[in-house]
Amino acid sequence: MKSIKILLFLLVSTVISNCKNSPNSTETASSIITFLDNGEEFTPSEQKQIREVVLQSEQEIRTLLPTLPDSINVSFEIVDWDLDVVGGVTGRTETNSPPVVFIQISENYPGGITAATQKALKHTIFHEFHHLSRGWAIQDNKYGPGISIAAINEGLAVVFSEEYTNEAMEADTPPAEAIAEAWVKEIRALPINANYQHWMFQHPDGRLAVGYRTGNFLIRKAMSESGKDILELSELTPDEIYQLAGYGQSN
């Protein structure tokens, strides 16, 4: 999911548990929260704050996304990365079967773990849980490869999170319309095996998060042109969304 520079270097640690809960329940969240030991420890107050944000966010999301998996494993670790452009928090959805989400919180964010949690953890949980609902995970991707598909699916998660948390991150902000239109054409002309890291995170020409920022633009345009909201768009295929935005089918 969505750090700009550091996702190339992530080391995956998987914690898997099982717990059942009705996907439509608004009373009890079912996230299984763990804290990975990599030499740094979350304080008890930080753990309490994180648990409260995750469980409250899950309850809110379940009322919006009925296809959210019954039980979700969410693992946290402290990192020393520069994550200021994403509010000090980043994450990735590893798999939808069983559902596993990894969250990294930077101790170097101004104000530390507590400030980053307050600023961006809810935003990140909404983003990553949208991926679980839609089936857009690293090992379980039901939409296939390609930057044009990635831009749509990441754009959906970005807009979903922005709409329901009222937080927008610098890393996801679309460029000016003329530039965004040019980026759409560029992305749609890419071969299916175009470098994911270059187009979604850091391009060799210096551009950052081209796929995320273009995806945000595309989803906002599809909403404007069609009158559909983000929940309605989230039920559609990438091709259908491109058509609503006025671009025909994806490549």
Is residue 76 within 8 A of residue 117, CB to CB? The reply is no
Give the per-residue pLDDT at 85. 94
pLDDT in tens, 191-214: 999 999 999 999 999 999 999 999
pTM given for the model: 0.86
Give the per-residue pLDDT at 37. 72
**Residue percentage of the chain with pLDDT more than 70:** 86
**Side-chain half-sphere of 108: how many Cα atoms within 13 Å?**
8
CA-to-CA distance for 25 and 21, rounded, in angstroms? 7
Q: 182-216 b/e with 16+ CB inside 10 Å = b?
A: ebbeebbebeeebeeebbbbbeeeeeebbbbbbbb
For residue 38, which of 68, 87, 97, 81 has the smallest C-alpha distance?
81
Give the per-residue pLDDT at 38. 64
Residues of the chain with pLDDT under 50: 1-27
Spans of all domains in the chain: 6-134, 147-244
